[in-house]
Amino acid sequence: MTLACHLKHAFPGFTLDAHFEVPEGLTVLYGRSGSGKTTVVNAAAGLLRPDEGRMQVDDWLLFDTAQKAWLPPHKRRVGYIFQEGRLFPHLTVAQNLRYGHWFAPKGATPEPMDRVVNMLGLGPLLHRRPAALSGGEKQRVAIGRALLAAPRMILADEPLSALDDARKSEVLPYFERLRDEVEIPILYVTHSAAEVARLATTVVTLEDGRVTGQGTAAEVLGDPSVTPLGARAAGAVLEATITKHHPDALTELNAGGTPLFLPALAQPEGSSVRVRIAAHDVILSTTEPADLSALNILPGTVQDIRSGQGPGAIVSLDTAAGRILARVTRRSAERLDLKTGTPCYAVIKSVALAPQDIGG
């Protein structure tokens, strides 16, 4: 499966000119607000008619301005999960869930209602109305409603941004399950590096209406030149497997042969997880640190150093566990005489690794 997107659209004061082709799985459109992510998704849904462009999934053509082809939104069968849920206030949860099913073509095979209700934990909510739901519950219903319309593609526009951290960690796992269990392309918009790290099969970064990078989460987040949200949000992703849950509430991971210690994770031993390590949580040392409280000390070599006008620099470090980014001051980088090829140790406090940055 390939999702091809070529879009040009002029807004007053802003031009979107985005081109990308991505393989199957969950594609994250990543960038700050105003970078054009939502425009891409709205064009995919047919809610915005672009000046020029084409979008298709394999031979399923959504629109092509060159051929004057345009599928109206109600014939596209995309399951759109909106930022604000957009549940129908006059219908119960069950009626909201069934809404798309009424209009799905007879031949379509939607996910069975029971399965979706179980997967999203909606059973106790079915007879309530949206006004009586919490933010997290609303978003779960919105996911279910999109799924039950028998969509050929799922669009999600910052579906977690209206939720607080607790609700985010409640809903995030459902997107992981969607990615792993539903065999249709998912286009997911976010400006959260943590969500990219956890969910993305492919990341497409957007800046000022243009695509600036594409790759796996580890590739894109580990590339210091691609920081669509600025250095403050930088952070690399490591792929690891859980080796052991220790009795002192720590979980030991194996990342490319290197042990990593994290606050206890819920996943069983043997499962693979992605760990996002925010660049500002990493300390660098040119000698092997001793007598340090930090549990994770990863040897590596400096691969690249990037700095701008500000006081900070982003150092990328190749370790056996994978690429790690560290945000240090330019002064420290000069004092330690960091250059490409300098051997270096990355020090990461276990407790700095937030559980919402870790997922399957």
What is residue 264's three-state secondary structure? coil
Pick 126 or 352: Cβ nearer other proteins: 126
Tell whether residue 74 is a contact of other proteins (CB under 8 A).
yes
Partners of 205 in the β-ladder: 30, 213
- Looking at 11, 14, 70, 88, which residue binds other proteins (CB under 8 A)? 88
Partners of 15 in the β-ladder: 10
Tell whether residue 78 is a contact of other proteins (CB under 8 A).
yes
Pick 42 or 227: Cβ nearer other proteins: 42
Binding segment (CB under 8 A) for other proteins, from list 42-50, 58-66, 249-257, 337-345: 42-50
Tell whether residue 103 is a contact of other proteins (CB under 8 A).
yes
Tell whether residue 36 is a contact of other proteins (CB under 8 A).
no
Buried b (16+ CB within 10 A) or exposed e, 294-330: ebbbbebebbbbebeeeebbbbbbebebbbbbbbbee
**Structure tokens of 201?**
């099969």
Say if residues 357 and 168 touch (Cβ distance below 8 Å).
Answer: no
Pick 82 or 261: Cβ nearer other proteins: 82
CA distances from 250 to 28, 231, 272, 295 (A): 30, 29, 16, 11
Can you tell me the distance from the alpha carbon of 49 to that of 39, in angstroms, rounded to the nearest whole number? 10
**Nearest CA among 218, 155, 159, 222 for reference residue 192:** 159
**Nearest CA among 32, 8, 39, 41 for reference residue 185:** 41
Can you tell me the distance from the alpha carbon of 205 to that of 234, in angstroms, rounded to the nearest whole number? 13
- Looking at 5, 16, 43, 45, which residue binds other proteins (CB under 8 A)? 45
> Measured from the CB of residue 74, what is the shortest distance to other proteins in angstroms?
5
Binding mask 110-149 for other proteins (x = CB under 8 A): -------------------xxxx------------xx--x
80, HSE (Cβ side, Cα atoms, 13 Å): 20
> Measured from the CB of residue 78, what is the shortest distance to other proteins in angstroms?
6
Tell whether residue 80 is a contact of other proteins (CB under 8 A).
yes
> Measured from the CB of residue 274, what is the shortest distance to other proteins in angstroms?
30
Say if residues 317 and 323 touch (Cβ distance below 8 Å).
Answer: yes
- Looking at 10, 49, 73, 320, which residue binds other proteins (CB under 8 A)? 73
**Structure tokens of 299?**
């040897």
Binding segment (CB under 8 A) for other proteins, from list 66-74, 119-127, 226-234, 252-260: 66-74
Tell whether residue 60 is a contact of other proteins (CB under 8 A).
no
Tell whether residue 76 is a contact of other proteins (CB under 8 A).
yes
Q: Which of residues 312-351 bind other proteins (CB under 8 A)?
A: none
Tell whether residue 84 is a contact of other proteins (CB under 8 A).
yes
**Nearest CA among 300, 303, 309, 289 for reference residue 349:** 289
Pick 11 or 88: Cβ nearer other proteins: 88
**Footprint of other proteins on this chain (CB under 8 A)?**
45-47, 72-80, 82, 84, 86, 88-90, 92, 99-100, 102-104, 129-132, 145-146, 149, 155
